[in-house]
Structure 1
Amino acid sequence: MVKNRPGLSLQRNGTEQAGNKKRKNSIAGNNGFTFIEVMIATVVLGVGLLAIAGMQISAIKGNSRASDITKATALIEDKLSGYKGMAYDDIDDEQGVDGVFSWTTTVDSNSPVNGLKTITVKSSWSSGERTHSLSFATIVSK
């Protein structure tokens, strides 16, 4: 036993003894986290993880919608480029289905002026309970 301070003796195991009372030396006077602190940290972490999961679901839905719009755009552009290579008099209304996408071509003759045709291609598709559509238009001359 080594004398450390008056009235206290320092033991070899790192405890101080004052009379019959022993206390453990600690660096900051703190031995760790309490149970309530651990529970609060767990709740905060859980709430954060749930928020991230919600954002993931939203991102997946957004990516699916963007993919559908991209496919519909490619279909419409393909149809419009085909009309630009056709003879003026052969361009007429038509419709069809390509996978989950249905498309309709509407041709307005002499619009906006004589000798021009306005071609509008509209693509529609269903996603869940909602129906979506996208349309592009172009003008061709004789």
Structure 2
Amino acid sequence: MNLGLKRDHFCHLDTANGKNGFTLIEVMIALSILSIALVVLLGLRNQGITLAARSRHIIEATLLARQKVTEVSAEGFPELGEKKGDFGTDFPQYTWRQDVVQTPFNVVREIMLEVFWQENNREVSLAVTTYLFDRGTKARSLAPISES
């Protein structure tokens, strides 16, 4: 089937002076568009790498915080006060701070745990708050602490 079109109609462009090819301005515009697209794509790639590293830190910090809360609850009813520490040689880039405060109920303690790490030369943290009930003392009531 012949549509009456010659192959030359698709392969060559006529310029203003009658010669085949692209003009310099067409080449410059094409290169400009290509370079802008490449810069945008490289920027997105770098942003993706940064976000992947940040999400890895957040996941690790969340798991470490969960581990620390489990340790605290396994030790029994915690004493009031603040403690600090690290996660040993397995996770040397992370540190933690635990603050145990009294709640209005004498058998409940609030544990605020914060995990810290360095990211882009600044300290970043993830905070977790939980409450522990004193299961060892059955005689205590859930009545609020009296102010005397």
Cα shift readout 1:66-125 (whole Å, capped 9, x = no counterpart): 11111111111100112222222568642211211110111113x142211111111111
Once the two structures are overlaid, the 10-residue window that deviates more, 91-100 or 127-136, is 91-100
TM-score with structure 2 setting the length: 0.68
The aligned length equals 116
* Structure 1: 5+ residue stretches without partners: 1-25
Q: Hey, what does 2:9 align to over in structure 1?
A: 27
Q: CA deviation at 1:132?
A: 0.8
What RMSD over aligned residues (CA atoms) do the two structures have, in Å?
A: 2.2
> Greater strand share, 1 or 2?
1
Higher relative contact order (CA 8 A, sep 6+): 2
Verify the 8 A CA contact 1:83 1:91 in the aligned structure 2. Answer: no
1: CA distance, partners of 2:120 / 2:9: 61
Q: 2:81–2:100: 8 Å Cα contact kept in structure 1?
A: yes
| 4+ aligned runs moved over 4 Å, structure 1 | 89-92
Which of structures 1 and 2 has the bigger CA Rg? 1
Q: TM-score, normalized by length of structure 1? A: 0.71
Residue 141 of structure 2 corresponds to: none
1:113 equivalent in alignment to 2:105: yes
Give the superposition deviation at 1:46. 0.8
